[in-house]
Structure 1
Amino acid sequence: MAEIVAIRAGEDSAGLVRTVREGGIVRLTLNNPPANALSLDMIAALQEALDACAADRSARVVVLGAPGKVFCAGHDLKEMNARRADADRGRAFFDRTMRDCALLMQSVVNLPQPVIAAVDGIATAAGCQLVASCDLAIASERARFGVNGIDVGLFCTTPAVALSRKVKPKHAMEMLLTGEMIDAATAREFGLVNRVVPPEYLNQIVDKYAATIAAKSPTALRLGKQAFYRQAEMGLAGAYDYAAGVMVENMLARDAEEGIDAFIAKRKPQWTEE
């Protein structure tokens, strides 16, 4: 069994990600303005923060945000371009960056806790990929989204993985082929974000979502999130067979027994942390 490590408020060693714990809600804030770019160090810092969340069973919900006008501008193109001077023209560095970023995005999806993106600025390329990887996304009216690598001769292939799993294929291809930015309302229409709110209410709405989810059974959240993504990759019959097995496992969990007893007795359930 993995060691359970309590999450403490503070920053990672490089100061690139701030962590604040409020009860069962963990807030991770990208802290490298103005672009909050996914440099190799930023990827490592965010991965470290997510790993700490995954190891803490008392953490219920993770909120991912960023200050300033840019939520995340994607990969650090200056950092990557500088490695063209390497003997291999940057191949090894590019490969490490893309693969580490791919693992980071999978960590968001595979995290036991639901992850809510709170977007109050621009999210482009791998930054848009990060938003798409989150389970929920709440955007302010001034948020904008794009996968604009095509504008610099680079098709956003890895962002397309997350994007194509959250929005309809033609909407995803529209964004990938044109590189054009979309506003928050269009992002909601496309299915990239759940809600669009005035900037002054963003934190309030995100807090409401986080508190609502944090009050649910951690066992049900963990089993349900994992099952949701796994069944989506299966055929219909296989998905039902798998989902039925998960439902049985969930029914046998102490939280389900407690929750159903509490419902029948008309009292508030007391969840476990297992």
Structure 2
Amino acid sequence: MAEHTSPWRGRRVLVTGYTGFLGGAVARELFACGAEVVGLVNDRPARASTGADRQGRVHLVRGRTDNVFRLHSAMAVHEVAAVFHLATHDPFAEDRGTHAVLQAAKLYARRVPVVAARPLQQLSLARAGEARDDYLSVARFGEVFGPGDRKVFRTVPAAAIGLLTGDGAAVPPDGPPRDFVFVRDAARACLRVAEATITDGAGDYPFRSGWLLTDRQMTAVVRDAHAGRPVVVPDSAAPTNPLGWQPAEPLAEVLDETIAWYREFLRIGCTAPLRAAA
């Protein structure tokens, strides 16, 4: 969407997990739409890992996601129009961050949409009666991949790094197919969920790219992309997605972009900030 026609133009938006994988991608989409981002970070040096200051359109707030006072203060001081709660948490521990974000949103004078990302495989639990909050909308995805993912044990990073280092892409054990979603597409979906929440109220939105692959199949697809061979995805029924969303680019193109990012990631030693992840 062009910046001059975007509903986000000129708005301030709070993003927890601002320096993270999906949080960073959402921030970039917001910048492209003309928004200002209030980024919740754990430490001040995080600015260096997010690239340029976007001409004053980044407002960093130091704090923890489970600190209701700090979250409410960030919302009130910056008069945010929405909250994207994308900070990761330990899946085996209590999710105090989401509870704190919702508490802060309820204390905030303006009613704001809160959008979180959750695994697609948890959808059946939500439909079976998982507790819902009328402030919280959920965007659900399968396996999100793309530039900026530093969790190198996951399928796409592991395959790309193995090929780029000459070690070869290890063949993972076969398993059930999963829906792989490119991170920029996932970020666009999050923005659409927030827009829908503003007009229609909170909801639960499952997004599927249709790239339904096992880990072994995805590893083979990454190998083909790296070698310049045609990328072939097993035939499956085209998914029906909410809010008019669908992947914006072919799988072959986004894999080329992803592999290029990991090439640079390895070149600079995996520690310095990367422009593509900013």
Q: TM-score by structure 2 length?
A: 0.29
TM-score computed with the length of structure 1 as normaliser:
0.30
**Higher relative CO (CA 8 A, sep ≥ 6), structure 1 or 2?**
2
Relative to total residues, which structure has the larger helix share, 1 or 2?
A: 1
